[in-house]
């Protein structure tokens, strides 16, 4: 989709329609061989874990492919949505902290939240004062002063309450509800944040969306990391319950296989819905906007509203994917969400597999994740070989070797992005553009 449409082979879609999808078959066959090779070498329990994680990433990648592939919006803050989904899954599923609910702290926390709502309402009301004839300058000044004072008051109350929570009951605990409820709410939370960001940025240049999503992801992470009263911060929360029997009950392989079947069903449902949406009039409208915004606007399509919809849908998928991934890992660690692992890896999956093509995205997700997991030990081996040579020839003795070898993977991911953009801008399984002459 990066090339102008005139450069596309015009016949590709029409001629491919009746022939066997040889390209897809070959690629997926190769992928199956790779996965089988991993199974043979690393053992089934490890490989099943890899497959579950790959399927969680596939949900994230499907979220990005509808934003980037369908609509041409680039989201650089996938990490934030993943973390939000992960937090929601954690909060809903871990056991209730009875010490917290037995104390007076929930009431105090409730009062602070109520005060927050009241302050927001007051500031909002003041910002509407110009309707009854107050000069605009006075209104703005009043609103800013009221907002500042209200903010300072509420934040100092919040600080005292959260400090008490941390010192008396450690953290507020969870809700002890089924984990799938947390997944759904995680998607909703991510969608809400996506709505806020999209509302601000989608009418502007596409670069601004990248900056804003990058920023919101860091803010979400900072919030989750520093709110010890809510998430235990760096102390991390574990274990997280699964929707299927734990490894402790039925063994690693069975438990992971059951989890895998859950994620596969989820992917199948999402895939089916996306497929229908893509071929529906709504999907055509989205692509029309992506490919030629001006003429789509001239046809009377509401560009910003459609963009908003698709951005929020993508964010919801990312929230759900992040929730499923965090539940599977069994550990909620806000510092474990990294831009590299949770944003750029997904980006590589999408642009390598084929943006705008769901099948290609799935392919890219599994392939890239397998390569990524396997590249850790491989990078270490290569690094050790280089160091052995270096020590032999130049007497070179670098320190903290293992972390450096893992950093080399960052370089490879970056290079991969650039090479794909340069030489295969439409991915390995490109989007099929139907031409109706």
Counting residues that bind another protein (by CB under 8 A) gives 54
Inter-residue contact 358 to 65 (CB < 8 Å) = yes
Distance of alpha carbon 98 from alpha carbon 84, whole angstroms: 24
Pick the binder of another protein from 223, 236, 250, 432 (CB under 8 A): 223
End-to-end CA gap in the chain: 20
Site for another protein (CB under 8 A): which residue of 25, 410, 434, 435? 410
Q: Where does residue 152 rank: exposed (0-12), middle (13-18), buried (19+ CB within 10 A)? A: exposed
Measured from the CB atom, is 175 or 387 closer to another protein?
387
Exposure class string for 108-120: b at 16+ Cβ within 10 A, else e: bbeebeeebeebe
- Residue 374 Cβ, how far from another protein at the closest point, in Å? 18
409 near another protein (CB under 8 A): yes
Q: Which stretch binds another protein (CB under 8 A): 37-45, 106-114, 365-373, 410-418?
A: 410-418
- State how far the Cα of 152 lies from the Cα of 324, in Å rounded to an integer: 37
Of the candidates 408, 389, 226, 206, the one whose C-alpha atom is nearest the C-alpha of residue 307 is 206
Contacts 24+ apart (CB under 8 A), 3-8: 3/425, 3/426, 5/291, 5/433, 8/433
Site string for another protein, 41-80 (x = CB under 8 A): -------------------------------x-x-x----
Query: In 191-289, where do the E strands start and end?
Result: none
User: What residues from 143 to 182 belong to the interface with another protein (CB under 8 A)?
Assistant: 151-152, 155-156, 159
Which residue in 417, 424, 432, 433 binds another protein (CB under 8 A)?
417
Q: Which of 114, 222, 385, 391 binds another protein (CB under 8 A)?
A: 222
Measure the CA angle with vertex 191, ends 299 and 284; round to 5°.
25
Pairwise CA distance, residues 52 & 242, whole Å: 13
Residue 215 is a binding residue for another protein (CB under 8 A): yes
Q: Which of 10, 204, 381, 382 binds another protein (CB under 8 A)?
A: 204
Q: How far apart are CA 146 and CA 156, in angstroms?
A: 15
335 binds another protein (CB under 8 A): no
Listed ranges 13-21, 86-94, 111-119, 208-216: which one lies at the site for another protein (CB under 8 A): 208-216
Q: Is 407 near another protein (CB under 8 A)? A: yes
Catalog residues that contact another protein under the rule CB under 8 A. 2-4, 72, 74, 76, 151-152, 155-156, 159, 200-201, 204-208, 210-212, 214-216, 218-219, 222-223, 225-226, 339-340, 344, 347, 351, 399-400, 403-404, 407-418, 421-422, 425
């Amino acid at each position: 989709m990066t090339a102008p449409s005139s450069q596309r082979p015009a016949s590709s879609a029409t001629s491919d329609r009746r022939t066997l999808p040889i390209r897809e078959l070959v690629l997926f066959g190769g992928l199956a061989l790779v996965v089988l090779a991993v199974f043979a070498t690393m053992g089934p329990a490890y490989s099943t874990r890899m497959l579950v994680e790959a399927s969680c990433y596939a949900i994230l990648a499907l979220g990005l492919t509808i934003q980037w592939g369908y609509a041409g919006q680039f989201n650089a803050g996938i990490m934030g949505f993943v973390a939000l989904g992960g937090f929601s899954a954690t909060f809903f599923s871990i056991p209730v902290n009875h010490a917290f609910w037995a104390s007076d702290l929930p009431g105090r926390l409730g009062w602070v939240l109520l005060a927050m709502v009241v302050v927001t309402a007051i500031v909002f009301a003041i910002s509407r004062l110009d309707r009854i004839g107050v000069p605009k300058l006075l209104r703005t000044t009043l609103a800013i002063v009221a907002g500042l004072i209200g903010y300072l008051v509420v934040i100092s109350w919040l600080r005292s309450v959260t400090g008490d929570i941390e010192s008396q009951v450690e953290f507020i605990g969870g809700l002890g509800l089924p984990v799938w409820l947390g997944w759904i709410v995680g998607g909703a939370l991510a969608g809400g944040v996506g709505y806020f960001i999209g509302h601000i940025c989608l009418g502007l240049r596409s670069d601004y969306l990248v900056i804003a999503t990058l920023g919101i992801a860091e803010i979400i992470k900072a919030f989750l990391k520093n709110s010890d009263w809510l998430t235990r911060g760096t102390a991390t929360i574990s274990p997280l319950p699964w929707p299927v029997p734990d490894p402790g009950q039925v063994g690693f392989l069975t438990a992971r296989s059951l989890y895998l079947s859950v994620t596969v069903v989820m992917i199948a449902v999402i895939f089916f819905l996306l497929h229908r949406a893509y071929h529906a009039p709504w999907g055509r409208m989205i692509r029309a906007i992506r490919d030629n915004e001006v003429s789509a606007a001239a046809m009377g399509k509401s560009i910003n509203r459609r963009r908003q919809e698709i951005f929020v849908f993508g964010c919801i998928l990312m929230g759900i994917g992040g929730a499923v991934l965090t539940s599977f890992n069994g550990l909620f660690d806000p510092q474990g969400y990294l831009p590299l692992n949770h944003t750029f890896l997904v980006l590589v999956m999408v642009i390598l597999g084929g943006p705008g093509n769901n099948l290609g995205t799935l392919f890219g997700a599994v392939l890239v994740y397998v390569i990524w997991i396997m590249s850790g030990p491989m990078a270490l081996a290569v690094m050790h070989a280089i160091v052995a040579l270096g020590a032999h020839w130049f007497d070179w003795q670098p320190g903290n070797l293992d972390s450096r070898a893992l950093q080399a993977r960052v370089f490879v991911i970056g290079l991969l992005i650039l090479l794909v953009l340069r030489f295969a801008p439409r991915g390995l399984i490109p989007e099929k553009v139907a031409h109706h002459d």
